[in-house]
Amino acid sequence: MLLPLLLKTPQSRVVTVASRAHLAALNGITWESLEQVTRSRFGITEYAVSKLANILFASELARRHASQGLLSYSLHPGVIKTEVWRHAPWWAQPLFALRRMKTPLEGAQTTLHCVLHASPEQNGLYFSNCQPRTPGDHASNPLLARQLWERSVAWTKDF
Give the pLDDT of residue 98.
62
Question: Contact 20/128 with Cβ under 8 angstroms?
Answer: yes
Output b/e per residue, 110-129; b: 16+ Cβ within 10 A: bbebbeeebeeebbbbbbbe
Q: Which of 47, 85, 96, 149 is catalytic?
A: 47
Q: What is the pLDDT of residues 3-13, one digit of tens each?
A: 999 999 998 99
**What pTM does this model have?**
0.89
CA angle 137, 108, 146 (to 5 degrees): 30
Residues forming a β-bridge with 125: none
Q: Residue 47 catalytic?
A: yes
User: Is 115 or 33 the better-scoring residue by pLDDT?
Assistant: 115
Q: What is the pLDDT of residues 48-103, one digit of tens each?
A: 999 999 999 999 999 999 999 999 999 999 988 777 767 777 777 777 666 788 99
Structural domains in the chain?
3-152 (3.40.50.720)
Reply yes or no on whether the pLDDT at 126 is more than 90. yes
Q: What is the pLDDT of residues 92-101, one digit of tens each?
A: 777 766 678 8
